[in-house]
Amino acid sequence: MKLTNFTLTCAAILLSVSQAHATSFDEYLQRLKEHPQVASVLSESNKFKELAKGEMGLPDPQLILGVDNVPVDDPAFDRFLPSSKVLGFKQAIPSYSLRKAKSEKQQGMSVKQSLLADYTIKRLEAYLITALTELDKVKQLEEYSQKQLKYYVELESFIKGQLESGSSVYGRFSEIDVERTEVEQKLNNLKAERDTIEAELTRLVGEVPQISLPSLPNVQWNNDIEQAYAVSIAKEDIGISQKGIDAADSAFGPNYGIQALYKQREDGRSFAGDDWFSVQATVSVPLWYHWNQKPKLRAAESAKQTAEFSYDNMKRMWQKKLTVIASERDVALDNISLLQEKKDAIREIVAAAERNYEAGNAELESVLDAQIDELTIASRLATQRSRHIKLSAEFNSHIMGDK
């Protein structure tokens, strides 16, 4: 049976939708490279690159049309010898060294923006990994909380049985009610957290990825602060400001110009008529350098000093920041080891409590309490694992290259 047009259309739509969803982390990384935040920075880089080309160009020439020495009382071109019609052009030629210095400054700004684009991609990648990690943590915590609620229901049923049999366990019953309420509140908070994370993922890649968490390298930092993106970007500012000094210094040199005029004189009573031309070259003289070029040069030198101070401050700040992040990352890894040992130990306690309960040597309450404690430790372990991945992604995003 032939497919109808409607069926074919639906199939095409389903196919396009299925192709729109990425299936791997690398595909999502490619989307991040096309993110508007990255495109905006790259657009700035292209802008400065084009401005660098424009700085090397000459200004537009001027076309000259006019008359010379025409009498006011009786305008004519055949009465007096100096009267003539004029056609010419004028071309200014700014200093080549000045134009080159300005072009190199714009080129430096383009390089800086390109470096900033790379940094932006790395930061977006860290945001993506963080969001994926947080979403995975939330799912685990929701699962553990649901299990805890189930155990609390069983525990409440057991305590009610104890109350009906005459045991004085009112205090424990109240504690269970409070603990269960806290778990229910935690579930509500986790729902709000999940919504926030999914909104962030949609902002980054347009959807909520259904992929496993990517593996992250544990980047070892040798305290080489030059590896930090922010420091390298600040260093580019020094080079850019140096080009500003070069431009200000080149402004002391001469600018040139050339103009040519063609003059036409009509036949007259006292002159047979003839055409002639004149050509002039101009050279600027920095006569007012004390009020013009000198202040601009001092300003450019101050701008470089500012860039150098900013660079030095950036190195100190990021030395501290990367040290703190690396330390917190390593502490989170140590906490994972401790919590894993604690989880293994409490797993043995749960197994022992279950054996004792089955043998009739322990109450159900001890088993349920141990199971709830095991889930509490598992929740802390999931939180620490998420924290370690987030700090690793944060640290890696600030370091240039795959070190």
| pLDDT (mean) for 236-247 | 95
**What's the pLDDT at 163?**
63
pTM of the model: 0.84
DSSP string computed for 267-315: --SS---EEEEEEEEEE---TTTTTTHHHHHHHHHHHHHHHHHHHHHHH
Closest CA to 268 of 87, 86, 71, 76: 76
> Under a CB-based contact definition with an 8 Å cutoff, are residues 202 and 275 in contact?
no
pLDDT of 240 above 60 = yes
Bridge partners of residue 88, in order along the sequence: 64, 261
Mean pLDDT of 152-160: 82
Report which of residues 16 and 137 the model is more confident about: 137
pLDDT (0 to 100) of residue 4: 47
By C-alpha distance, which of 348, 392, 393 is closest to 371? Answer: 348
- Whole-number pLDDT of residue 16: 42
Side chain identity at 229, as an amino acid letter? Y
Identify the CA nearest to 244 among candidates 317, 315, 299, 293.
299
Instruction: Say which range, 6-20, 30-44, 217-231, 233-247, has the weakest mean pLDDT.
Output: 6-20
> Which pairing describes strands 84-93 and 256-265: parallel, antiparallel, or unpaired?
antiparallel
Q: Are 353 and 374 in contact (CB under 8 A)?
A: no
> What pLDDT is recorded for position 17?
41
Q: How many C-beta atoms lie closer than 10 Å to residue 339's C-beta? A: 19
Mean pLDDT of 109-137: 96
Which CATH class name applies to 22-58+94-252+289-397? mainly alpha
- Nearest 5°: the CA angle 343, 346, 352 is 145
Q: What does the CA dihedral 67, 69, 73, 76 come to, rounded to 10 degrees?
A: -60
Residue 27: CB atoms within 10 A of its CB come to 13
What is the distance between the alpha carbons of residues 277 and 146, in angstroms, rounded to a whole number?
Answer: 97
Q: What is the rounded distance in angstroms from the CA atom of residue 137 to the CA atom of residue 215?
A: 16
What pLDDT, on a 0 to 100 scale, did the predictor assign at position 228?
Answer: 94
Residues in the chain: 403
Give the separation between CA 11 and CA 301, rounded to whole angstroms. 66
Q: Which two tokens stand for residue 334?
A: 């140590």
Strands 62-68 and 256-265: unpaired
Average confidence (pLDDT) over 13-33: 70
Query: What Å distances lie between residue 240 and 53, 112, 293, 315, 338, CA to CA?
Result: 16, 9, 19, 18, 50
Mean pLDDT over the full length of the chain: 87
Nearest in space to 266 (alpha carbons), one of 68, 79, 64: 79
Check residue 10 and give its pLDDT: 47
Mean pLDDT of 389-399: 94
How far apart are alpha carbons 69 and 329 in whole angstroms?
A: 85
**How do strand 274-283 and strand 62-68 relate by DSSP bridges?**
unpaired
Lowest mean pLDDT among 200-204, 268-272, 290-294, 320-324: 268-272
pLDDT of residue 344: 93
Average pLDDT over residues 378-389: 95
Per residue in 180-191, pLDDT tens?
999 999 999 999
The mean pLDDT of 390-396, rounded to a whole number, is 95
Provide the 8-state DSSP code for 223.
S
Asked if residues 180 and 159 have their Cβ atoms less than 8 Å apart, the reply is: no
Asked if the model's pLDDT at residue 402 lies above 80, the reply is no
% of the chain surpassing 70 pLDDT? 88
- Express each pLDDT in 52-73 by its tens digit: 999 999 999 999 998 887 877 7
Q: 155 in helix, strand or coil?
A: helix
Asked if residue 134 lies in contact with residue 197, where contact means CB atoms within 8 angstroms, the answer is: yes
**pLDDT at residue 85 tops 60:** yes
pLDDT at 20: 57
